[in-house]
Amino acid sequence: MSEKGDSSAPLLAGRDLVKAYGRTQALRGACVELHAGEILAVTGASGSGKSTLLHCLAGIVRADAGSVAYDGLRLDRLPEKRLSELRRSDFGVVFQFGQLIPELTALDNVALPLMLAGAARAEARARAGTWLERFGVRGQEELRPGEMSGGQAQRAALARALVTGPKVVFADEPTGALDSLASEQVMTSLVHTARESGTAVLLVTHDAQVAAYADREVRLGDGTAVPQTGVAA
């Protein structure tokens, strides 16, 4: 791995990743690289290991073998406390169903990562409001997730993932529970914001139309990455 800050090196790289859950082998030596500012789609059939790969790269779970390097740091060697700090400061994560806290308003859901990082509540809420507006959820700030449409809730989840200014956003089937119109709105918002801020995106999806938003595609088959191809002009 090159020295930290080397622009020619991948921002994030998983090498020879192996992960099993009991007798189920989810990853069998998968390798993947993500560069700064790049949008990378990870595709494959159900059960091919896509979500497991994302979780390993994000430091949510540890691989049984192989390495994960982020900006010169070996994530697989870091203690859990340091991994948690990185996930709060450098990583944003969006899941298929958003996983917003149902008891909190949209505004407080988006403000929460800022408050966990030490921001005052008033400042965090002000910044959260700006991000909700950027994602087209203006006027929904005081609604709880159950009172919002699926597309609105998912865009609020994107705002929460990006509000801290992460270097990498991990999006695990972010449109999987949405209809085609809401899916397009969510992906347009994500891609526009990522391009504008220079944020790298690792996008797990089974949908070819969603994958088409990416710069490159890695297809997983039986836990192993198939050669990467460009999908964008």
Question: Which tens digit of pLDDT belongs to each residue from 81-94?
Answer: 999 888 888 999 99
Per residue in 163-198, pLDDT tens? 999 999 999 988 888 888 888 988 998 999 999 999
* Residue carrying structure tokens 């948690």: 84
DSSP string covering the chain: -PPTT-TTS-SEEEEEEEEEETTEEEEEEEEEEE-TT-EEEEE-STTSSHHHHHHHHTTSS--SEEEEEETTEEGGGS-HHHHHHHHHHTEEEE-TT----TTS-HHHHHHHHHHHTT--HHHHHHHHHHHHHHTT-TT-TT--GGGS-HHHHHHHHHHHHHTT--SEEEEESTTTTS-HHHHHHHHHHHHHHHHHHT-EEEEE-S-HHHHTTSSEEEEEETTEEEEEEE---
**Taking all residues of the chain, what is their mean pLDDT, rounded to a whole number?**
89
* Rounded Cα–Cα distance for residues 67 and 45 (Å): 24
Compute CA 220 distance to the chain's CA centroid, rounded to the nearest angstrom.
17
pLDDT at position 10 over 60: yes
Q: Span 110-116, mean pLDDT?
A: 94
In the chain, the amino acid numbered 88 is R
pLDDT of residue 46: 83
Burial class (CB in 10 A: 0-12, 13-18, 19+), 191: middle
pLDDT of residue 14: 95
Which range has the top average pLDDT, 58-67, 88-97, 133-142, 146-155? 58-67
Q: How confident is the model at residue 226 (pLDDT cuts 50, 70, 90)?
A: low
Q: How confident is the model at residue 135 (pLDDT cuts 50, 70, 90)?
A: confident
Nearest to 215 by CA among 39, 3, 9, 14: 39
Length of the chain: 233
pLDDT of residue 138: 82
pLDDT at position 1 over 70: no
Q: Span 93-119, mean pLDDT?
A: 90
